[in-house]
Structure 1
Amino acid sequence: MTTHIDRTHGAALASWVESAHGHAQFPIQNLPMGVFATGASARIGCAIGDQVLDVAAALSAGLLPDVDTRTARAVTGETLNAWMALDAAQRRTLRVDLSRLLEAGSHTGAIAQRHRGVILHAQEDCRMLLPAQVGDYTDYYAGIHHAYNCGVIFRPEQPLQPNYKHLPVAYHGRASTLMPSGVPVHRPSGQVRVDGDGGPQGRFQPTARLDYELELAIWVGPGNPLATRIDIAQAAQHVAGFGLLNDWSARDIQAWESAPLGPFLGKNFMTSVSPWVVTSDAMAPFRAARMPRDASDPRPLAYLDDADDAACGGLSIALEVHLSTRRMREAGLAPHRLSHGDASALWWTPAQMVAHHTAGGCNLRPGDLIGTGTISMPEGRECGCLLEMTHGGKRPVQLPNGEVRSFLEDGDEVVLRGTCRREGFASIGFGECRGQVRG
């Protein structure tokens, strides 16, 4: 398990980058990795306060003297794929070196301050890109409350399918439509069901039931050869980091096409991903036990069962969904928080998802993306999507300005946020995953 806590996590650690002091998202204890551009070329960066550290520039300035040759090559590219391919020890060493470079009072930090004009860029001046070239994208269904709530809507007699607690259920998504935060989502068209005199039939039209889904992104690190599998005890070492993911969904298209197979046009038009990758090492203080099983629940099969993963394979991340309508922005109103929840409400851990994905011999590759599935809470309207929150559109949400929403309308902007908090440690965040609906 990646639960290595060291001095880089210390609450008293401070940076010479002034904006990092008490920063709600990116203090020196976080140091997420991303890809940014200030012009035509893309470069690998590390977020620190409201700045971006140009890692290649720091390397060229001799500020990362302990970095080995493979790591140096990995951080001078235009995507994070090679960094993700590093083994867990190499990624950890780089994180320690970056922390030392940015630490107030350190020898390297004192030298780095003299290069700040070359190695630092204001985040507001940077264009954030998709962190990696994604070869494959898989979306799980690990949020048990989401699965149950949807089951109540569609199958009240049996909300959870019989297989749900036995194996992590998933489908393969469309990697080409993964987009970084801020890219608008265009309302898709497809076939929806209409009931006529001759029975159900399809009609092609723009979706009238556009929805969001609050998920975590799991970025795959080192992969595995074809026809091999990743053991559950080692699976956490194959996760490079985490982000936020919005799996935009056209519910009316999805409902008509998903019998008998899974989602297709209802899901493949766009998925938004936050640009910063919060590393597995940064998440070490915020690990949690996986969701408890009671006596009536099946014990995971051996290939999904590991004592360390059961004890600390889960994640404690406070999650929020905010909505801003066109009318709200025109009136100068702040976005409205639709719901909040926690990533600890995932029935399956990231390691179990990785182990199951490779159980039949599928080869994962660095930069592959895994979505956790929608994360919801067990009661009330603390749901990770409008489908649940409005009970299939039957119970619209009342917004503070008098507007109501059953599903998203043109001009609506959805913002996902995530924060990790634990007593004795500095809080860290994921930035935002933002997208506005266009007609």
Structure 2
Amino acid sequence: MSLAEEITQLVEETPFVDTHEHLLEESTRLKGPEKAARPERALKDFSVLLSHYADADLVVAGLPPADYQQFFRPDLSPKDKWKLVGKYYERARHTGYLQNVRESVRMLYGIDDLSADTVQEVSDRVAALIKPGYYQHVLKEVALVEHCQVNSLEEGLFMETAQPELLCQDLSFVRLSTGLDLPYVAKLANREVRSLQDWHQVIDWCFATYGPRAIAVKNQSAYGRKLDYAQVSAQEAAPLFEQYLRDPAKLNEAGHKAIQDHLFHYCVRKATEYKLPVKLHTGYYAGHSNMPLHRLRHNAGDMCELLRQHPDTPFVIMHITYPYQDEAIAIAKHYANAYIDMCWAWIINPLAGVRFVKEFLMAVPANKLLTFGGDYMPVELVPGHARIARRGLAQVLNELVAEGWLTPREVPVLVERLMRGNARELFDYEGTLANWKR
């Protein structure tokens, strides 16, 4: 066996700690699409494999809106569904999203590709796989993932998962700060909110209730605003919050931003108190036709002030701020509390992922990089993403050794660190799991 083959085999055999998913609960998938918040991502035919991320590439390739809606109907046959999307699948088949679909189809169902001739058989195997215990099989046995960290989109704050040892849960603080949802959270906490102080107490309750069992906190406010969170005191925010309580529509944009800024920092301080890393979406947008690239380019610059103001808080900068990944490298090199997560990035652009890891390792201490998160709702798509990530990591390490930047003896330690060691150091998996068992 050659050195390159040995390195590749080592990467293939080392489990990942998966640091970011949106997986539905297994119980939701067993019930089927009628019980899911996003029904198309709980279907029991091949279309579920094209329901997350791949669907955006199909639309960008030309899939008409009406055909898109038809495609995800649960009562349409697999062959009729293929007639709607086959042409667009072929147009987009080389993208990371679609390569991921094919890898997952091969790994889970033993079929090489989707086509008019295979979609019925794939659909039959999709349905047959969905049975109690299949998450354990797909994630641990097929994808070779030790455990996942899940930002559940089924619940507004925190998912009381049935499988905490496999599906660690993030505490989302969007509804507490940047996407305020007073009725939902106040009802959850069984508290009446009449002032900013009351809302602080609600936030405190959320952290006390969910914080000990959370693996991290998560906020994706970059989808709706810049990450320029100013320091706004409680004294400044209190009268604005009272105006918000009376009538949010009458509060101007500056007032809304000031409230969000104040509450964001309040939540970050609470996360630090509970020793929870803060995960922030940065960079590329999911979906299609709505990405304001001019704002995304400021994500990394805005992060610098947050990193400076909260030096004791580990921030996880998600998705490598693609397509501005050079800035992510600079941030991780300069700030001790900045960590970069490659979740989603491998399938947005696999070759950009390879370039990123090569350059990152030449510039930044290796403990600052988390190398895998599938970022999916359907569990069936995690194996393909893990395969693409392993291929990319093996390519990176082989190239760095061949080019003389790494020695062969350095590779095993680096593989262990990048694939699971860094995640084990940054996140308290054992402590969190112990709190679930109490």
Measured against the shorter chain, the TM-score band is under 0.3
In the superposition, the TM-score normalised over structure 1's length comes to 0.23
Give the helix-richer structure, 1 or 2.
2
Q: Given the two structures, how large is their TM-score scaled by the length of structure 2?
A: 0.23
